[in-house]
Amino acid sequence: MSLPPDTYTCPVTGLPILHNPEWNKISFGSNYKVSVDIISKQILLTHNFGTPSLHGVQKVMRFTSSIIDQFFQNRPYIHIINYTNIKKNIPLEARRHVIKELKSRKQMLAAIFYGLSPSLKLSVKIGRLFNQMPFTTMITQDYTEAMESALIILNDSERDPLIVEKKRILDCETAKLIEELAQRKPSLDNADPGPFDRAVELIKDEIKYLEEKESQARRVNTLARLDKIINSRNEKARIYWNSLRPRPKLQRQPEKGLGEA
C-alpha cells in the first residue's frame, strides 16, 4: 500500500509517520525551533532545538494543542518529546508552564522524554514528584526506547482502562532517585555541582514555589472574608442610619359630618 505524500515509515515500529514540511523547525523565538511528527494515530513526536524561553514555550504549547485538536480529536495519545538538541537549561518558569499545559490535556496517556541532559532529567523526576502527573511520565535513552515504551503503554491502555489512574502513584524510578540522593554527600566543587546539589536546589525551589502559591491562596481567602465582613457591616450601618431618620407624620383625614355624603 502506497503512503500519502510527506508520510514515512518508523524504522523501529514500521508505523507510518506524517511529517508536514510546514512543521519542520518552526521558529518560536530568536534561538528556539520545534519540528513535529505524527506517528500512526496515537503518537505525537516533537523535536526541540536551541534554547527555549518562556514566551517560546507558551507558543509551542498552543501550537501542539492545535495539532492535537486537529489530528487526534477525542483519541487517547502519547506525546514523545525529544530534547537531544537542547544544550542549555530550560528556564524554571518555562518548565512549569510545560507541566501545567500537559496536565490540562485530558486525552494524554503518557509523556515520554529522551535526549535529556542530567539537569533536565532531575527536573523531570522532581517535577513528577511534586506535581503528581495524571498520566505516565517516562525518561528514555533514545528514540528507539521511547517508541518501544509508547507501544507498551498503548497496548496496556487498551487492555486496562484504569492504567492511567494506576500510574499516577509515585513510580519506582523516582523512589530510587530519592534513595540515591539520601546516600550522597554534597559536592565540594562549586564549579561542577553533582546530582545531589542540583536536586536539592530544584527541590528547594519547588517547595518555595508551592509555599508562595499557598500564601497567595490564603491572601485571596482573607480578602474575600474581609470583603464579606465589610459588606455585612455596611448593610448594618445602612439599616442603623435609616432607623435614625425622622419618619414622616401621617396626615389625619378630616372626619365627615353626619350630613356629608
Sign of the alpha-carbon torsion through 178, 179, 183, 187:
negative
Q: How confident is the model at residue 87 (pLDDT cuts 50, 70, 90)?
A: confident
Rounded Cα–Cα distance for residues 236 and 227 (Å): 14
Q: How confident is the model at residue 189 (pLDDT cuts 50, 70, 90)?
A: low
Rounded mean pLDDT, 8-16? 90
Q: How confident is the model at residue 131 (pLDDT cuts 50, 70, 90)?
A: low
Rounded Cα–Cα distance for residues 244 and 225 (Å): 29
pTM tops 0.75:
no
Predicted local confidence at residue 66, as pLDDT:
93
- Residue 152's Cα: distance from chain center in Å? 24
Per-range mean pLDDT, top range of 31-45, 97-111, 207-221:
31-45
Rounded Cα–Cα distance for residues 203 and 92 (Å): 12
Write out pLDDT tens, residues 110-130: 999 999 888 788 778 777 776
Q: Which residue has the higher pLDDT, 183 or 102?
A: 102
Is residue 92 predicted with pLDDT exceeding 90?
A: no
Rounded mean pLDDT, 140-159? 85
Rounded mean pLDDT, 4-12? 77
Is residue 257 predicted with pLDDT exceeding 70?
A: no
Query: Which string of b and e fits 46-55 if b means at least 16 CB within 10 Å?
Result: bbbbbbbbbe
Residue with C-alpha cell 485530558?
106
Write the DSSP symbol of residue 22: G
Angstrom CA distances, 117 to 48, 79, 123, 142, 174, stand at 13, 19, 10, 12, 17
- Do 34 and 49 form a contact (C-beta atoms < 8 A)? yes
Q: Which residue has the higher pLDDT, 237 or 38?
A: 38
Q: Position 189: which residue type?
A: D
- Cell readout for 213 is 502559591
Predicted local confidence at residue 63, as pLDDT:
95
Q: How confident is the model at residue 69 (pLDDT cuts 50, 70, 90)?
A: very high
Q: Which residue has the higher pLDDT, 108 or 220?
A: 108
Is residue 169 predicted with pLDDT exceeding 50?
A: no
Rounded mean pLDDT, 179-187? 55
Q: Which residue has the higher pLDDT, 203 or 56?
A: 56
Rounded Cα–Cα distance for residues 154 and 49 (Å): 27
Phi and psi at 100, nearest 5°, equal: -60, -45
Is residue 226 predicted with pLDDT exceeding 60?
A: yes
Rounded mean pLDDT, 50-60? 92
Residue with C-alpha cell 532531575?
122
Per-range mean pLDDT, top range of 99-103, 153-157, 180-184:
99-103
Phi and psi at 129, nearest 5°, equal: -65, -45
Closest CA to 37 of 4, 71, 75: 71
